[in-house]
Amino acid sequence: MQPVRLGNTLKVPVVQELANKALSQLPPRYVRRRPELPNNHQGEQQVPIIDFRKLLSDEFMHSELLNLHSACADWGFFQMVNHGVREELLKKVKTEVQEFFKLSVDEKEKYGQLPDDLEGYGQAFVKSDEQKLDWADLYYMTTLPVSMRRPHLLPKLPPLLRDAIEEYSSEMKSLSRNLFAN
């Protein structure tokens, strides 16, 4: 199977380098108006939380499916709890990703996006020089299915990060199978 190309992105300044310059104000490309977020039934803005156990429960499945639908329609994302992914693994992945982003810019550039590809270190979906940008650098990578992985990315990551991502990907595959099986 040939990897799907998601498009390309323009090269933009590395946020880590901009942050190290101790700017007196953010460059205009990074300043955005705060979007209006949906309110919950108490009038508060809170990221929707979906309970995986409730999705599997005869008693709560219907109401939790309604919550899931609402989260997807109104927010476009949600936090899932009681999903069964080990807390130690989540901490391990977080720690290793943080260690990756502590690397020097030159070191991270070894994992940079190739021309006409979004995967790797950089920014994604930058289509014009006027476009608003996120105040963040990212590392985007397809991990599953394995056949869609870019050979220049995951295998060459620092070993602890690579192993953590492999283990996390396996857990996410199991979680998604459980979710869609029910």
pLDDT of residue 169: 95
Does the model's pTM come out above 0.85?
Answer: no
Calculate Rg over the CA atoms of the chain.
19
Say whether 35 sits in a helix, a strand or coil.
coil
CA terminus-to-terminus distance, the chain: 28
What is the distance between the alpha carbons of residues 138 and 166, in angstroms, rounded to a whole number? 18
Answer positive or negative: Cα dihedral of 93, 96, 104, 111.
negative
Q: pLDDT digit of tens for each residue in the chain (182 aa)? A: 555 556 677 788 888 888 888 788 888 888 888 777 666 566 666 899 999 999 999 999 999 999 999 999 998 999 999 999 999 999 999 999 999 999 999 999 899 888 778 889 988 888 888 889 888 899 999 999 888 888 888 888 999 999 999 999 999 999 988 878 76
User: Chain-centre distance of CA 19, in angstroms?
Assistant: 21
Task: Give the type of residue at 102.
Answer: K
Do 138 and 27 touch, CB atoms closer than 8 A? Answer: no
Strands 120-122 and 138-140, how do they pair? antiparallel
pLDDT of residue 40: 59
pLDDT of residue 150: 85
Q: Please classify residue 90 by burial: count the beta carbons closer than 10 Å to its beta carbon, then call 0-12 exposed, 13-18 middle and 19+ buried.
A: middle
User: Chain-centre distance of CA 182, in angstroms?
Assistant: 25
pLDDT of residue 130: 86
pLDDT of residue 11: 82
pLDDT of residue 117: 82
